Amino acid sequence: MSENPAQHLPLSGYTVFEIGQNVAAPFASQILADLGADVIKVEKPTGDDARRWGPPDWEGAAAMFQTLNRNKTSQVCNFRDPEQVAQLREQIIRSADVVIQNFRPGVLKSLGLDAEALQARKPELVYCDMGAFGRGGPLSHLPGYDPLMQAYGGLMSVTGEPGQAPVRTGYSVIDCGTGMWAAIGVLAALLRRKNTPNGAHVEVSLFETALSWMQIANAQHLSSGEVPGRHGSGAATIVPYSAYLASDGHLVIAAGNDSLFRKLSALLNHPEWADDPRFNSNPARVINREEIDRLIQAEIALQARDHWIRALRAANVPCAPVQNTAEAFGCEQAQALGVLQDVPGSSMRFMGIPLRLDKIRPEIRKAPPVLNTLHKETTA
């Protein structure tokens, strides 16, 4: 009999119920699953909405769903059927260490599946509520999605080109960030539970995550009185620190201090820039960013991207080509790290969890679950 690859992982032996859908809750529980937890994904009869968030589809469901739900099993619960809800409640009381949920506020409370009801019967349960706007305040009852939070939390106000329309980051950074905070909160609660008989009620929200990503911008605002704006690929307080267009593509140069700027200036055959009062310190370069960016761009445009990458690395000036998805996952560094993992019983390949324990990246043990269209209680 083959060894269970999960049994040596840190969360082996823990059981997690995910009563959630879309991105945030599935991402949170997938982190726990990758670390060895037994995750039971509880779905409505039609399944997680993300199963249909395509094209592209990949082996029976949207690729977006597949990459967020590996290492889990699925069971269906018709939340309109009191008997099925009662079965799920008893199953949680019997076998759950953790519940993660991101339903609209009030839905699970009406079903007796909220933290208060479940912890009254099982005080050691760790229950994680993942909300949109968080508990308390006039918007707490509203649902939320990633782009709404990028807008409401301020992230879109600092993303994009100066003078242009605000831009959402390309993928769901707020959803995934909230999933990470949920996983961190759950792990902290499980650690605390080793020294206390009680679990915890963990609360995270998309809005609070969005605000947390804006903490540097907020500090700059509170200290200066100025509202941060958009700087394209650049940074508000470091120059040069942005993308430049070579003759055949973009690259990012990050000369984050005066020593690096001096090296960059010499490499571009303009050592005098490092002593120019307009550019000889980072604060001066921030004030005169348009001029120094214009001068750097004029030089970068003269050669191909690979030429500059080689030259900048040789001069120890931090840089990177702006790569598309195929280039990023196909580059030598990604290949060497082994970030892509095969999915057992499938032709799919996913990005593995981005951490290693004792030099080993936890494996993908199970393919994303097919929707079980018949209600069936999973035995404990």
pLDDT, tens digit, for every residue of 289-347? 999 999 999 999 999 999 999 999 999 999 999 999 999 999 999 999 999 999 999 99
SS3 314: helix
pLDDT band at 271 (very low <50, low <70, confident <90, very high): very high
Residues 89 and 118: their CA atoms lie apart, in Å, by 8
Contacts of 3 (CB under 8 A, 6+ apart): none
Closest CA to 353 of 5, 20, 1, 30: 30
Task: Determine the Cα–Cα distance for residues 125 and 318; give it in Å rounded to an integer.
Answer: 47
What are the residue ranges of CATH 3.30.1540.10 in the chain? 241-245+250-321
Return left, alpha or beta for 344; rule: phi > 0 is left, psi -120 to 50 is alpha, else beta: beta
pLDDT at 373: 56
What rounded mean pLDDT belongs to the chain?
A: 94
Are 234 and 288 in contact, with CB atoms under 8 Å apart? Answer: no
Q: Please tell me the predicted confidence (pLDDT) of residue 357.
A: 95
The mean pLDDT of 43-52, rounded to a whole number, is 95
CA distances from 277 to 37, 61, 281, 287 (A): 58, 59, 8, 11
CATH class of the domain comprising 15-213+339-351 = alpha beta
The CA–CA distances, whole Å, from 77 to 28, 97, 117 equal 20, 19, 18
pTM recorded for the entire structure: 0.91
pLDDT at 64 over 90: yes
In this prediction, residue 7 carries a pLDDT of: 67
- Asked if residue 372 has pLDDT above 90, the reply is no
Q: What is the pLDDT of residue 8?
A: 85
- In the predicted model, is pLDDT for residue 378 greater than 80? no
Q: What's the pLDDT band for 3 if we cut at 50, 70, 90?
A: low
Quote the CA–CA distance of 236 and 214 in Å, as a whole number: 13
Q: What are 148-186's pLDDT values in tens digits?
A: 999 999 999 999 999 999 999 989 999 999 999 999 999
Domain with CATH 3.40.50.10540 in the chain: 15-213+339-351
How confident is the model at residue 293, as a pLDDT? 97
Side-chain half-sphere CA neighbours of 377 within 13 A: 14
Whether 175 is catalytic: yes
**E-strand stretches of the chain:** 15-19, 38-43, 57-58, 61-62, 72-76, 98-101, 126-131, 200-205, 241-245, 250-254, 319-321, 340-342, 349-351
Name the band, by pLDDT with cuts 50, 70 and 90, for residue 254. very high
CATH no., domain 241-245+250-321: 3.30.1540.10
Catalytic residue among 34, 48, 129, 175: 175
Q: Which amino acid is at 156?
A: M
Would you state the pLDDT for residue 347? Answer: 95
SS3 call for 43 = strand
- Bridge partners (DSSP) of residue 254 are 241
**Both tokens assigned to 66:** 């597949």
